[in-house]
Amino acid sequence: MMEHTVRAFEDDITRLRGLIAEMGGLSEVSVQEALDAMVNGNEQLAEQVIERDKRIDALEMEVDRLAVRIIALRAPMADDLREVIAALKIAGVVERIGDYAKNIAKRVGKIEGRRHFEPLTLLPAMGDIATQMVHDVLTAYAARDPVLARKVIATDKKVDAFYDSIFRNLVTHMVENPATISSAAQLLFVARNIERVGDHATNVAEMVHFAATGNYPPEEDQKD
Amino acid sequence: MMEHTVRAFEDDITRLRGLIAEMGGLSEVSVQEALDAMVNGNEQLAEQVIERDKRIDALEMEVDRLAVRIIALRAPMADDLREVIAALKIAGVVERIGDYAKNIAKRVGKIEGRRHFEPLTLLPAMGDIATQMVHDVLTAYAARDPVLARKVIATDKKVDAFYDSIFRNLVTHMVENPATISSAAQLLFVARNIERVGDHATNVAEMVHFAATGNYPPEEDQKD
Complex confidence, ipTM: 0.77
CA distance B194 to B32: 10
Judging contacts by C-beta atoms under 8 Å, the chain A residues touching residue B92 are 89, 92
Alpha helices in A41-114 (DSSP H): 43-74, 78-106
The Cα–Cα gap between B191 and B214 comes to 34
Q: Which residues of A touch B71 (CB under 8 A)?
A: 71, 81
pLDDT-derived band at B220 (thresholds 50, 70, 90) equals: low
Q: Do B85 and A81 touch (CB under 8 A)?
A: no
Question: What pLDDT does residue B1 have?
Answer: 58
How many helices (H) and strands (E) chain A has is answered by: 6, 0
CB A171 to CB B181 under 8 A?
yes
From B12's Cα to the closest Cα of chain A, the distance in A is 18
A216: which residues sit within 8 A by CB, 6+ positions away? A206, A209, A210, A222
d(CA A119, CA A170): 6
**Which residue in B93, B113, B124 sits closest to B23, CA to CA?**
B93
Q: How large is the angle between the packed helices B3-40 and B78-106, nearest 10 degrees?
A: 20
Return the pLDDT at B102: 97
Q: What is the pLDDT of residues B88-128, one digit of tens each?
A: 889 988 999 999 999 999 999 999 888 778 788 889 999 99
A61 burial via Cβ count (<10 Å: 0-12, 13-18, 19+): exposed
Q: How confident is the model at residue B192 (pLDDT cuts 50, 70, 90)?
A: very high
User: CA-CA distance, B17 to B6, in Å (whole number)?
Assistant: 16
In angstroms, how far is CA B119 from the centroid of its own chain? 23
CA atoms within 13 A on the CB side of A218: 5
B133 or A1, higher pLDDT:
B133
| Closest to A55 in 3D by CA, of A20, A32, A23 | A23
Cα–Cα distance between B63 and B68 in angstroms, integer? Answer: 9
B-chain residues within 8 Å CB-CB of A83?
none
Give the pLDDT score at B64.
87
B interface test, pick of A111, A174, A202 with most B CB neighbours within 10 Å: A174
Q: Residue B222 region, left (φ>0) first, then alpha (ψ -120 to 50), else beta?
A: beta
Q: Which domains does chain B have, with CATH numbers?
A: 3-221 (1.20.58.220)
A178 and B182: CB-CB below 8 Å? no
What is d(CA A42, CA B30) in angstroms, rounded to the nearest whole number? 40
Determine the pLDDT at residue B69.
83
Residue B116: CB atoms within 10 Å: 8
pLDDT tens by residue, chain A, 224 residues? 566 677 888 899 999 999 999 999 999 999 999 999 999 999 999 999 999 999 999 999 899 889 888 887 777 777 788 788 888 889 988 999 999 999 999 999 999 888 778 888 889 999 999 999 999 999 999 899 999 999 999 999 999 999 999 999 999 999 999 888 999 999 999 999 999 999 999 999 998 988 888 777 775 555 54
- Mean pLDDT computed over B49-76: 89
pLDDT at B222: 55
Question: Nearest CA to CA, how far is A205 from chain B (Å)?
Answer: 17
Rounded CA separation A37/A109 (Å) = 10
Nearest to A119 by CA among A48, A172, A49, A66: A172
